[in-house]
Amino acid sequence: MFFLPTIVFASSGDNSLSLIEAILIEAFMTFHVSVFVFNPFAKIFSKENYKKVFWTSFIIRLVILLYFDFFVTPQIAFIDFFAVLIGTFIIRPISKTVTFNRRYEGVDNSVLNTELNNVLLSNNQGAFHCTHCGGVINTGDKFCANCGAVIDTNRVATLTSSKALVNYSNFDPMFNNTEDKLLEEFINKELKKAGIDQNNKLVPFDILKRKSILTIIFSILVFVYISLIFFHFPIYTYIIGIIILFCFFRITSKYDLIKYLKKEIKARPSEKISNIVMNVKNSFISDNLKVLRILSIIIACILPLIIFINPRIMYEKVEGGYAVRFYTFGLTNFKTASIPAKYNGQKVVSLRGNTFSNMPFLESVTLPNTITEIRGQAFKNDSSLRSVNIPINLEYLGGGAFYNCSSITSIELPDTLTYMGGEVFYGASSLSKIKLSENLTEIRGDSFEYCTSLRSIEIPDRVTRIGGHAFYGDTLLSEVLFTENSKLREIGSSAFRQCTSLYSITIPSDVYVNERAFKESPTSINYFDLYDEYYNSNY
């Protein structure tokens, strides 16, 4: 109920849920979904391995939520919210019903209703106990000598002639456990008989071998994880990596003597447990893995720091020369980057996608003029980037190239540029000055969305279309300039929406303007032909 106002407000279409809000809601709901949905569901699904089912369900939900939050939409938090509510009302009643049925599964209803007609047979010697007071009743008694309760003689006779009834309390409590736990109890008893202390430093050779392999694999994963940090992948990559490392560590640390023996016993069901335990005892060796584990993890942590102490540039061969495929920042320099003009005697002509993306500390990049294309998201999410020299021969600028570069203030695009992708300057909130290429033919959707510092822009004459949301939310934009030679033919939906400082715009008379193009903006639209007629008639 706490989040209900937020849900109603968001569903009205006036606001969208941010990533942080979605994660907070999902974190809040995690407790409820665990207690009221996953826990009872796991017990319904598997009586013996319900913990495994619980954690599997938990991790699947976590992965799905993170995937939708980062790749699709944070609105998945609302679906998760209602799924928990619906799941609670469905799973809980089913869980109670199943639990009740399991508790009395196989129990005769007559026994439950009559409780053996006031008597319970305790042994084979003809002695009974009164269910009212617990007093001893002899065969043939019609009344309890202790409390005077009436005894059903027919029932006693029947019990006398039948086999002895055995109560569950007559058995060792260990038999109340699940099959898996019961096996562990048998193993522990056999280990005790064999004089094996599980806390000593002696382990079977097979366990030591397998633990060594798992330790090596874990160290490699740690090395890879730390190395990936220098490749500046998106944050969700490292979240997933942490989850993988944690799960693997848990699996590795739980692999002990008991688990090994359980596996051996299940593999050889016809052999006595005592024989298997003794065979294992004969293969014991000293466990010196702890030191090896610590050393391998330390090496796995230090080695990437040595390899990437300085920035590294990785290239790939392309037509006309080489392209920069990856740029890894180094411990000694993570604020500036410089790309050389040549590699292996050939020109560096391209930056591939995400070359410098997700580097929050990068402030300045120097590019050679040999570069003719910058692919999509090349500088995405570089929030501290202030200075980039655009190559004078640039022909292609990919979509989202400067996405969320919130510190960059000015950009000058050369006239050689013929293609500029969508979202190219999305969220560049400090961008106040930009010069577009005279050879551009289209300003694609979301190109300058939320460039809240942009005040004025000149649209080149060759531009025929301004895509949807191109200047959405540019609250300081007050001047959009066209010339009478403009070839503009279309302005898309919400192209200038929420441009609250744009009071007037003059465009060619044959331009198609979408009905939502200037929604929530105080803009009056003028046309060059009408403007010329008005000017000539008055002046």
Which tokens hold the place of 29?
């709901």
Q: Report the percent of the chain where pLDDT is more than 70.
A: 75
Where in the chain are the domains? 4-103, 109-170, 173-305
| Residue 376 clears pLDDT 80, i.e. is over it | yes
Which tokens hold the place of 142?
């019609």
For 207-239, the pLDDT digits (tens) are: 778 778 888 888 998 999 999 899 888 888 888
Which position has the higher pLDDT, 530 or 28?
28
Q: Which of 20-34, 96-110, 182-196 is least confident? A: 96-110
- Sheet bearing 512-513, strands edge to edge: 442-443, 465-466, 490-491, 512-513
3-class DSSP state of 313: strand
Which residues, including other chains, have CB under 8 Å from residue 364's CB and lie 6 or more apart?
335, 336, 337, 385, 386, 387, 388
Distance CA 167, CA 286 (A): 47
Number of alpha carbons in the 13 Å side-chain half-sphere of residue 389 = 13
Binned at pLDDT 50, 70 and 90, residue 41 comes out as confident
For 257-272, the pLDDT digits (tens) are: 777 787 778 888 888 8
The gap between the terminal CA atoms of the chain, to the nearest Å, is 66
Distance CA 410, CA 337 (A): 19
Cα three-residue angle 203-205-210, rounded to 5 degrees: 95
Question: What amino acid occupies position 442?
Answer: E
Q: Which residues of 424-454 are buried (b: 16+ CB within 10 A; e: fewer)?
A: bbbbbbbbbebebbebbebbbbbbbbbbbbb
Q: Taken in order 188, 190, 196, 201, is the CA torsion positive or negative?
A: negative
Which position has the higher pLDDT, 244 or 359?
359
Residue 1 pLDDT = 38
Question: What amino acid occupies position 349?
Answer: V
Binned at pLDDT 50, 70 and 90, residue 54 comes out as confident
Q: Taken in order 289, 295, 301, 303, is the CA torsion positive or negative?
A: negative
| Residue 36 clears pLDDT 80, i.e. is over it | no
3-class SS string, 150-177:
ECCHHHHHHHHHCCCCCCHHHCCHHHHC
For 157-169, the pLDDT digits (tens) are: 555 554 555 555 5
Report the mean per-residue pLDDT for the chain: 80
Residue 165 pLDDT = 55
Residue 144 pLDDT = 73
Q: Provide DSSP, 247-296.
A: HHHHHHHT--HHHHHHHHHHH-TTS-HHHHHHHHHTTEEE--HHHHHHHH
Residue 340 pLDDT = 95
H or E element that contains 412: strand 410-412
- Using CB atoms within 10 Å of the CB of residue 6, give its burial: 0 to 12 exposed, 13 to 18 middle, 19+ buried: middle
Query: Strand 136-137 relative to strand 128-130: parallel, antiparallel, unpaired?
Result: antiparallel
Which position has the higher pLDDT, 412 or 111?
412
Residue 471 pLDDT = 96
| Residue 195 clears pLDDT 80, i.e. is over it | no
3-class DSSP state of 456: strand
Per the DSSP assignment, residues forming a β-bridge with 512 are: 490
Residue 53 pLDDT = 78
Residue 178 pLDDT = 74
Which position has the higher pLDDT, 16 or 473?
473
Q: Which of 117-121, 236-240, 307-311 is least confident? A: 117-121
Binned at pLDDT 50, 70 and 90, residue 474 comes out as very high
Residue 9: other Cβ atoms inside 10 A: 12
Per-residue pLDDT, averaged over 467-496, amounts to 95
| Residue 317 clears pLDDT 90, i.e. is over it | yes
Which residues, including other chains, have CB under 8 Å from residue 26's CB and lie 6 or more apart?
65, 69, 77, 80
Distance CA 188, CA 196 (A): 9
Relative orientation angle of helices 289-307 and 205-229, to the nearest 10 degrees: 20
Phi, psi dihedral angles at 481 (to 5 degrees): -105, 130
For 385-425, the pLDDT digits (tens) are: 999 999 999 999 999 999 999 999 999 999 999 999 999 99
